[in-house]
Amino acid sequence: MAIAIMTSGGDCAGMNPAIKQFVDYCFNKKIRPYLIYDGLEGLIDGDIKEATHDDVTGIMHEGGTKIRSSRSKRFFEYEYRKIAYENLQSHGIDKIVILGGDGSFRALNQFHQDFGVKFVGVPATIDNDIFGTEYCLGVDTALNVIRQATDAVRDTSSSFRRACVIETMGRDCGYLALVSAITCGAEVCIVPELEYDLDVIGKRLKSELADGRKYIVCIVAEGCAEDKCTSTNQLVQWLEKDIGIETRATILGHVQRGGNPTVYDRLMAAEFVTHAVDKLLKNEKTTDVVVYNKSEFQFVSIEYVNSQKYKIREDLLELARRLVN
């Protein structure tokens, strides 16, 4: 029996520990593990290799994905999916573990409908925005990268009595910014999920500065800045002109996707992948996604994952409401 693993879409820390666990666990189960390089594009191009222990030695601490990733327009066309299927057949592979987001899962679901290839999806995206799971692989590492950067920027801001605006990733979901604002002690949190009023926030900040506050930390999600036309630079200008405090901006960008995977992401990677392989070994016609809810791993259908838009838990939103008024 042969099973392949691939990573698709945006990379994240935790993918390499998942790949290592996949290979080691397959060998333990007497299964031939295969690595699909370069995501869906590699599937089409036939960049598929039977894995050895040497392929995954020493990758636990590395961010990103050793087998690389991609997004593929070609995979939307049947003729290229057929080529991908023939590539799998040449290796005797009819089962895939895919690490990615809902777009990657939809692509594999269409692949299954076309050719019957079974797969289990592992949610892996730093935005933590996949419906049906409380946690996605890579989130904890991304949050720790943001925490480290925010703590460092706060140090210099407090030294110069400045404000800082820190922009996190999150085009459609403010999870990273919200949790970072709560856990880093920010004074302002701007995310798409919470209505905010700069006039009200400004009055609060002026009062706090008059009462002895020496610096301000403002964390903003990139998607919120786009949606509401409140760019990071505009927030800098607002803090300087309206609040009267010297301000610097830090856009973290893709640094949030990399970095040494945390212990939690390494453990979650091992558990996610183990459940995925076990599911595929049951020889069911599965197109499921393994999810994590209420401290338990479960399997849900791709249709369920795509049925609704992910929403941040209300209790987390409540913790940050004081930062938007």
pLDDT digits (tens, 9 = 90+) for 71-90: 999 999 999 999 999 999 99
Q: What's the whole-number average pLDDT of the chain?
A: 95
Q: State the Cα–Cα distance between residues 84 and 41, nearest whole angstrom.
A: 9
pLDDT digits (tens, 9 = 90+) for 113-145: 999 999 999 999 999 999 999 999 999 999 999
Q: If you ran DSSP here, which 8-state letter would residue 206 be given?
A: H
Q: What is the pLDDT of residue 70?
A: 94
Q: State the Cα–Cα distance between residues 324 and 198, nearest whole angstrom.
A: 8
Q: If you ran DSSP here, which 8-state letter would residue 274 be given?
A: H
Residues with a known catalytic role: 127
Yes or no: say if 125 and 100 are a contact pair by the CB < 8 Å rule: yes
- Identity (one letter) of the amino acid at 240? E
Q: What is the pLDDT of residue 225?
A: 53
Band the pLDDT of 227: cuts 50, 70, 90.
Answer: very low
Domains of the chain: 2-138+261-305 (3.40.50.450), 140-257 (3.40.50.460)
How many CB atoms lie under 10 A from the CB of residue 281?
14
Closest by CA to 169, choosing from 240, 89, 224, 106, is 224
pLDDT digits (tens, 9 = 90+) for 292-310: 999 999 999 999 999 999 9
Averaged over 166-172, what is the pLDDT? 92
Residue 202: its H or E element: helix 198-210
Judged on CB neighbours under 10 Å (0-12, 13-18, 19+), 259 is buried
- pLDDT of 322 above 50: yes
Q: State the Cα–Cα distance between residues 12 and 16, nearest whole angstrom.
A: 9
Averaged over 60-69, what is the pLDDT? 97
Q: What is the pLDDT of residue 291?
A: 98
